[in-house]
Amino acid sequence: MFFKLLTSIKLKKLGATSVSIFGVIWLFLEPAGLLLPEWFKWGWWGYGGLIFLSLLIAIALNFPRFSVFRSLSSPNATIEIKIGDLFDEPGHLVIGTNDVFDTELGEVIKPSSVQGQFLTGVYHGDQKRLDAEIDIALEPFKADKKREPNKKKGKFWRYPIGTTLVLGSPDRRFFLNAYGFIGNDLKVKATADDIWYSLSCLWEKVRLKGHGLEVTIPIIGSDLARTNLPRMTLMKLIVISFIAASKKDFVTKKLTVVIHPKDLDSVDLYALEDFLDSTCF
């Protein structure tokens, strides 16, 4: 994982930083050279060393990191983007799901997906228990459900995109957020509008049930969901929607967006840091 981070440093960014540092150092050395010329008779070796020093400082400034974070001035909240495992994080977790809240592992739900790991890791593979808790949480939404007669595997009662269920205890909530439509071919599809609306519903539920505790969310809409949106775009959607919801009313003291190590090739932490600088205020 560290090697992936190391190679993620863009040569263009590294070159631009080293040139800037060289320019700053030279800005101070040139006047000193006029006043004390006998001290600055370096020759080519001296200039080469100066270039090397600038490069070393540039590498140090752009050294691979495992997380970036910024604070919102109003309300008092923090956004962190980090590399890690969703289920290792403390506090509340967001679990993206389809519009029928499928739980059956195998062809319907991939064991390696977040939903699959949720069932095996949190519920220890007890699908009946998870289904029972989901059914109880769905009671307030029964009037909105629609039967899907053509779905042959998994569940067949559809709920509106954005439906968000709350499982777990007050100090460890699991927010199951329906962001995508699962077709009869068992493929989940979601548009940018679906993602945005489901996130808006999610933050409202977190505001009501999260008690201000920190919340961690994966890059929902990636992997098996056919959103046609790159992970960088999905992450920006998550951050912008959270900021918009927080400016409306306090949601949580901290949002953590987790990037799984396998997704490092498709994200740029430095670009995301710049994005946070431009959006967090």
pLDDT for 24 equals: 77
Domain containing residue 177: 67-279
Segment among 25-39, 72-86, 174-188 with least mean pLDDT: 25-39
How many angstroms separate the Cα of 254 from the Cα of each of 71, 75, 84, 195, 214?
A: 9, 11, 16, 21, 5
pLDDT for 148 equals: 87
- Both 127 and 26 in one domain: the answer is no
User: What's the mean pLDDT in 127-149?
Assistant: 95
- Both 47 and 97 in one domain: the answer is no
Higher pLDDT, 229 or 137: 137
Q: How far apart are CA 49 and CA 58, in angstroms?
A: 14
Question: Do 92 and 216 contact (CB within 8 A), yes or no?
Answer: yes
Question: Do 240 and 279 contact (CB within 8 A), yes or no?
Answer: yes
Amino acid at 247: K
Residue in 172, 249, 245, 246 with CA at minimum distance from that of residue 215: 172
User: What's the mean pLDDT in 46-71?
Assistant: 75
Residue-wise pLDDT for 70-85, tens only, equals 998 778 899 999 999 9
- Both 157 and 106 in one domain: the answer is yes
pLDDT for 185 equals: 84
HSE, side-chain direction, 13 A CA sphere, residue 70: 15
Query: In sequence order, what are the residues at sequence separation of 6 or more whose Cβ sits closer than 8 angstroms to the Cβ of residue 227?
Result: 180, 189, 190, 191, 192, 195, 221, 234
Higher pLDDT, 117 or 49: 117
Using the predicted structure, report yes or no on whether residue 210 has a pLDDT greater than 90.
yes
Of the pLDDT bands very low, low, confident and very high (cuts 50, 70, 90), residue 178 is very high
Query: In sequence order, what are the residues at sequence separation of 6 or more whose Cβ sits closer than 8 angstroms to the Cβ of residue 232?
Result: 266, 267, 268, 271, 272
Segment among 3-12, 172-181, 209-218 with least mean pLDDT: 3-12
Q: How far apart are CA 64 and CA 6, in angstroms?
A: 6
- Both 12 and 114 in one domain: the answer is no
- Both 40 and 96 in one domain: the answer is no
SS3 content of the chain, % helix, strand, coil (to 5): 50, 20, 30
Of the pLDDT bands very low, low, confident and very high (cuts 50, 70, 90), residue 205 is very high
Considering 61, 88, 112, which residue would you say is the last residue of a domain?
61
Handedness of CA 266, 272, 274, 275 (dihedral sign): positive
- Both 51 and 183 in one domain: the answer is no
CA–chain centroid gap for 103, Å, is 23
Residue-wise pLDDT for 166-175, tens only, equals 999 999 999 9
Using the predicted structure, report yes or no on whether residue 5 has a pLDDT greater than 50.
no
pLDDT for 6 equals: 47
- Both 11 and 118 in one domain: the answer is no
Using the predicted structure, report yes or no on whether residue 142 has a pLDDT greater than 50.
yes
Considering 61, 80, 109, which residue would you say is the last residue of a domain?
61
Q: How far apart are CA 116 and CA 90, in angstroms?
A: 19
Residue in 122, 70, 12, 81 with CA at minimum distance from that of residue 263: 81
Total count of residues recorded for the chain: 281
Using the predicted structure, report yes or no on whether residue 151 has a pLDDT greater than 90.
no
Of the pLDDT bands very low, low, confident and very high (cuts 50, 70, 90), residue 139 is very high
Segment among 89-93, 130-134, 201-205, 266-270 with least mean pLDDT: 266-270
pLDDT for 223 equals: 64
User: What's the mean pLDDT in 175-182?
Assistant: 95
pLDDT for 2 equals: 46
Number of domains in the chain: 2
Residue 138's CATH number: 3.40.220.10
3-state class (DSSP) for residue 224: coil
Supply the pTM of this predicted model.
Answer: 0.80
Considering 13, 45, 61, which residue would you say is the last residue of a domain?
61
- Both 71 and 200 in one domain: the answer is yes
- Both 96 and 200 in one domain: the answer is yes
